[in-house]
Amino acid sequence: MNAAPTPNTELTSALEDYLETIFELVKERKVARVKDIVKARNVKSASVIPALRRLADLGLIHYTKRESIDLTETGEATARRIYSRHKLLVRLFRDFLGMPAELALQDACAMEHNLSDAGVDHLVRFFEFLQSCPDGHDFIERFKGCALVNAESPQDIATCCAKLALSPNDPNIISLRQLKPGQGGSVIRIQGTGAIRQRILDMGIMPEVHIQLERRSPAGDPLWVRVQNSQISLRKKEADMILLRKDTPADTNAP
């Protein structure tokens, strides 16, 4: 995936993964063996050995042929740094956003290599805020209890918010289908779940995105809308699910 002017002396994502695996193995059972790494990372031993050699060259592990593997001091520090990014992302996705543990883990594994120091810092500040501030905790709990998060146990938004600004009768909050051609609005939320929801998200329609209704086909069903500067077509059924705040006359040339 990369390859750039790789100066051969760099910790790549793959190596980070190996290092992290070793870290976990050592933590768990004091010693890492090739077999364990093969199993944990689901690769062949032929892939592991050169990786170990390179980690050894980088001074991150102690590795001599046919002997047990462990981390050097800098190796352990580096691994802990990677591992803590991992934990942080898991915490974000699982504990805060309510994502299933399994999936949160997968995403965290993949993303941890790309999270910058600044990203770490800002996530940490967020968690610090939650730790210190009971408002924060209340907020998260309400968020997690809410139908938006867990479609299976739907609890209405109104129940989750202390004060709900979107009165159901606000005439500016309408579904995309109710727009007139030429009108636009900003997405507030996508009603509904499952495959249709995913399709709508895949098209780039998500909260805070601006949509404009261009026209309806004569038959009425496919609607043509403009999103992110390009035109896409939607079925009525989908347009019903997209809730938005209609532009006020003021913001005619909206984002």
Partner DNA sequence: GCGCAATGGTAGACGGCTCTACATGAACGC
Partner DNA sequence: GCGTTCATGTAGAGCCGTCTACCATTGCGC
The footprint of DNA (CB under 7 A) covers 1-6, 8, 10, 12-15, 33-35, 38, 41-47, 49-52, 54, 65-67
Nearest distance from residue 117's CB to DNA, in Å? 21
Residue 71 or 179: the one with the smaller Cβ distance to a copy of itself is: 71
Pull the structure tokens for residue 200.
Answer: 């709508």
- Residue 117 sits in the site that holds a copy of itself (CB under 8 A): yes
Among 31, 53, 74, 129, binds a copy of itself (CB under 8 A): 129
Please answer whether residues 78 and 15 qualify as being in contact, where contact means their C-beta atoms are separated by less than 8 angstroms. no
Among 46, 165, 219, 250, binds a copy of itself (CB under 8 A): 165
Residue 22 or 200: the one with the smaller Cβ distance to DNA is: 22
- Residue 226 sits in the site that holds a copy of itself (CB under 8 A): no
Nearest distance from residue 37's CB to DNA, in Å? 8
Query: CB under 5 to 8 A by kind: which of DNA, a copy of itself, none does 6 bind?
Result: DNA
Residue 3 or 219: the one with the smaller Cβ distance to DNA is: 3
Looking at the chain, how many residues does it have? Answer: 255
Among 64, 131, 153, 169, binds a copy of itself (CB under 8 A): 131
Question: For the chain, where are the alpha helices, taking DSSP H only?
Answer: 13-29, 34-41, 45-57, 73-90, 101-111, 117-132, 134-145, 157-160, 194-202, 236-241
- Residue 224 sits in the site that holds a copy of itself (CB under 8 A): no
SS3 state at 167: coil
Which residues neighbour 184 within 8 Å (Cβ) at sequence distance 6 or greater? Answer: 210, 211, 212, 213, 226, 246, 247, 254
Q: Within its chain, how far is the Cα of 29 from the centroid?
A: 31
How far is residue 231's CA from residue 233's CA, in Å, rounded to a whole number? 7
